[in-house]
Chain A
């Protein structure tokens, strides 16, 4: 790793993607994501890669479909309204077993909403926003460093499972600056090696006769018997991912926690500040932060609910979406409380602290 640089999340994830071997990027401008596309427009030509400002988000995701079908690391990015337009394409990527990376810098919705940070796209990301039976690995960074690191993580996972991966960030992570250290730039030879792992399925892998095969990129199986087998296989892939790819952070977690908080992404940072405060005042509060929100760390949450935990408290920048997964994990063992903020407004650590104090008080 190199020197620390101060960078916006939007730019850091773009730089990290280029370093991870992404040479094909397609997107359409939208606030608060535009620094990402602008960075790519400056840097992709220097990396001898392709940047296209597509005519729409729909076009951009389908350009990704084409590039990914050729076995190359391809990426697109947008913010909530644009991500809605990409849902059809994401469903096709999943159906065709294609590796790709999609970055969502979330803003307030629904509809045109506003441009401030929000987490209202949780359901869309983890429960399948497009049609059909599919799941997407969803990485939810909470710092600019993690946002950057998630790029190579996402490409590696995409390649490993031949599957679309979403990085679910928000306007705060996109706009804020923090110190970042980058992985070294992958060399042309390394990128070639990465591409090779897809030669057995991708279109036009550049293999001369007699090794050349007819490859198809497709999500259509008109015969139900064949489609059934195809979807069952997808399901098996999701089972493997569910078993192997859960990732979460345990913060101030111990056997004596009185309240267990659960929050992801930006919200988790605000919660951490409140938890720190309360713990210095003699309380004992723990936090689980899912780093990937699909596959969801149900067991980690289950395990953290010791006999001393009186309540689980969920904090989200929406009306309550991830709480449904938390409830599945808690399974009625203790009450699950919720604090949310909507409209692109953040809760302050002070507000979170006051809310936790109220919940602690109820116990006394």
Chain B
């Protein structure tokens, strides 16, 4: 089994972090993984994206051209990568910044107002955690417990409040993913 993912959004939205948490959790669960970011001038204000590969076998190409899963935090991400999603694939999009839907009949499309939900939870910083939650809820690619453990180790002392919000956001995402 090999899952290829692209996470994409404006710089600062945390698309690269979505990819990083998925990659790290999959690694902890014994999978082979790679995380390949776009870098360079487009990062300054433009759209940033990351290719993530999670695989039973060692990862050959870390470059994802046709994702099984697309996490699109803004419209340019849907426009650029939406048409490349493999048949039977999945797209998770942030409706708050994506006015136009993808509308492909061979792709599962989940739309959620992530900015709005994040603000309800209490901080727009947790937007990307909602996206991670949806991936977990929908695909079971990684376990909630693995990410919880990682986040706890990272934030418990530094920022317990943010930890709590992050975990809430993931759980909220999982619910959306399961719907």
Contact = CB atoms under 8 A, between A and B. Distances in A.
- A and B: direct contact (Cβ < 8 Å)? yes
B1 interface: no
Contacts of A6: 20, 23-24, 27, 33, 35
A273 B20 contact: no
A178 B35 contact: yes
Interface stretch (B36-44, B73-81, B96-104, B135-143): B36-44
B20 A178 contact: no
A24 interface: no
B153 interface: no
A272 B61 contact: yes
Residue of B20, B32, B34 with highest tally of chain A CB at under 10 A: B34
A176 B65 contact: no
A272 B55 CA distance: 15
A177 B35 contact: yes
B11 interface: no
A116 B23 contact: no
Contact of B62 (A4, A114, A171, A176): A176
B110 interface: no
Interface string A339-364: 00000001011100000000000000
B27 to A, nearest CB: 5
Interface in B145-167: none
A179 B62 CA distance: 13
A270 B36 CA distance: 13
Contacts of A286: none
B65 A175 contact: no
B117 interface: no
Contacts of B111: none
Contact of A269 (B23, B32, B37, B60): B60
B35 A350 contact: no
Contact of B34 (A32, A115, A178, A349): A178
Given A115-B40, A176-B34, A349 B61 contact: yes
A102 interface: no
Nearest to A144: B34
A276 interface: yes
A346 B66 CA distance: 15
A165 interface: no
Given A6-B23, A348-B65, A350-B65, A176 B36 contact: yes
Contacts, number: 61
Interface in A97-115: 114-115
A154 interface: no
A132 B24 CA distance: 47
Contacts of B36: 172, 175-177
A261 B65 CA distance: 22
Given A6-B20, A115-B39, A171-B39, A179 B33 contact: yes
Interface residues on B, range: 10 to 19
Given A6-B20, A177-B20, A179-B27, A116 B61 contact: no
Contacts of A178: 33-35, 59, 62
Nearest to A145: B58
B63 interface: yes
A115 B42 CA distance: 12
Residue of A178, A272, A276, A350 with highest tally of chain B CB at under 10 A: A178
B27 A273 contact: no
A262 B122 CA distance: 54
A349 B63 contact: yes
Interface string A168-185: 000110011111000000
A346 B23 CA distance: 22
Residue of B20, B36, B63 with highest tally of chain A CB at under 10 A: B63
A32 B39 contact: yes
A116 B34 contact: no
A175 B39 contact: yes
B82 to A, nearest CB: 18
Interface in B1-53: 20, 23-24, 27, 32-37, 39-40
Contacts of A175: 36-37, 39
Contacts of A115: 39-40
A262 to B, nearest CB: 16
A112 to B, nearest CB: 13
B61 A273 contact: yes
A176 B60 contact: no
A171 to B, nearest CB: 7
A281 to B, nearest CB: 16
A32 B43 CA distance: 13
Residue of A175, A176, A270, A346 with highest tally of chain B CB at under 10 A: A176
Q: Which 7 pairs show the lowest CB-CB distances between chains A and B?
A: A272-B60, A273-B61, A177-B35, A273-B60, A176-B36, A348-B65, A349-B61
7 contacts: A4-B27, A172-B62, A177-B20, A177-B36, A178-B62, A179-B33, A272-B61
Given A6-B33, A172-B63, 4 more contacts: A269-B62, A346-B63, A348-B63, A349-B63
